């Protein structure tokens, strides 16, 4: 599979990477866990694990088994597999592998898994763990390609949106099954009940649009990030890829293409 890129993770940032790679002509396969924890499900291909298939902008992802990969790619769609340990990689031998899990640590990606390896955010060092690290912190260096060193450490502080920072992100007050009272894209007011878990109500800390929330019935642990409110109130942004995801996606494409050209010239003799 010389034109295939495998992406570990299918959250909103990974989905921006998938789009950039597909538009450049690559076939892309997404590997996920059995219970993805992406909050922004309206723009996350990982939601195919729960729904069977999902469409984000010009892409349709289909949850499948390994035997279905070739057919789904041939149909112009994106296979999504449950494979948290990336065991599929050795069997498919993709051209490139991108770790877009954004776990803030390396969960098993290493150089040699593919001809080109790319790691997003903290947890990777280039060229030891992967060929290139992509900076994911908002600011001047967002999307920077790092060939020697690591991305900036995670601050644990959510980026401010229209003056709202930590208060726009909601964490589970208790463990238990999540019962949704509102859906992604709903306009909510401060104090309005968004969901219930473990007998506790989860009120909206600020007014805005519910940009992301874990799926109904999800078994959460206390302290797990489960929802995000955008105070700007733009419903459309809940269902379109963000500026950050597009920036990082472009950086991933640049990394894959630049290293791919290097492999091409390393392995072929030019004749004049």
Percent over 90 (pLDDT), the chain: 85
pLDDT band for position 263 (cuts 50, 70, 90): low
Is the sign of the CA dihedral 78, 243, 43, 113 positive or negative? Answer: positive
Q: What is the pLDDT of residues 15-34, one digit of tens each?
A: 999 999 999 999 999 999 99
Please name which of 105, 120, 104 lies closest in space to residue 155, comparing C-alpha atoms.
104
Q: What is the pLDDT of residues 96-107, one digit of tens each?
A: 999 999 999 999
Angle at 265 between CA 264 and CA 270, to 5 degrees: 120
Query: How much is the pLDDT for 269?
Result: 39
Q: Is the pLDDT of residue 222 over 90?
A: yes
Cα separation of the two ends of the chain: 29
Q: What value does the mean pLDDT of the chain take?
A: 91
Q: What is the pLDDT of residues 40-72, one digit of tens each?
A: 999 999 999 999 999 999 999 999 999 999 999
Residues found in the chain: 272
Is the sign of the CA dihedral 216, 220, 223, 226 positive or negative? Answer: negative
Query: What are 232's two structure tokens?
Result: 């700007």
Name the pTM for this structure.
0.92
Of 54-63, 124-133, 231-240, where does mean pLDDT reach its minimum? Answer: 231-240
Strand order in the sheet with 200-203: 200-203, 193-197, 176-180, 219-220
- Domains of the chain and any CATH numbers: 4-154+242-267 (3.40.50), 166-231 (2.40.50.100)
Mean pLDDT of 186-212: 94
Q: What is the pLDDT of residues 240-262, one digit of tens each?
A: 999 999 999 999 999 999 987 66
């Amino acid at each position: 599979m010389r034109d295939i890129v495998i992406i570990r993770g299918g959250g909103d940032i990974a989905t921006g990477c998938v789009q950039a790679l597909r538009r450049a002509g690559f076939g892309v396969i997404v590997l996920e866990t059995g219970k993805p924890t992406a909050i922004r499900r309206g723009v996350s291909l990982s939601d195919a694990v729960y729904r069977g298939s999902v469409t984000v902008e010009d892409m349709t992802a289909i949850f499948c088994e390994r035997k279905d990969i070739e057919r789904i790619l041939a149909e112009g769609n994106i296979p999504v597999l449950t494979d948290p340990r990336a065991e599929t990689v050795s069997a498919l031998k993709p051209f490139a592998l991108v770790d877009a899990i954004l776990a803030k640590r390396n969960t098993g990606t290493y150089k040699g898994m593919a001809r080109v390896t790319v790691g997003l955010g903290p947890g990777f060092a280039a060229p030891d763990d992967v060929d290139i690290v992509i900076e994911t912190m908002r600011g001047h260096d967002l999307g920077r390609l790092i060939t020697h060193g690591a991305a900036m450490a995670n601050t644990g502080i959510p980026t401010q949106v229209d003056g709202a920072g930590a208060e726009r992100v909601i964490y589970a007050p208790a463990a238990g099954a999540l019962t949704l009272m509102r859906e992604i894209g709903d306009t909510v007011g401060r104090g309005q009940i968004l969901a219930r878990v473990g007998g506790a109500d989860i009120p909206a800390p600020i007014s805005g649009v519910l940009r992301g929330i874990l799926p109904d019935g999800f078994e959460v642990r206390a302290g797990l990030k489960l929802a995000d409110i955008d105070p700007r109130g733009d419903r459309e942004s809940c269902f379109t890829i963000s500026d950050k995801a597009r920036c990082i996606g472009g950086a991933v494409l640049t990394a894959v293409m630049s290293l791919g050209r290097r492999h091409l010239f390393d392995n072929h003799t030019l004749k004049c």
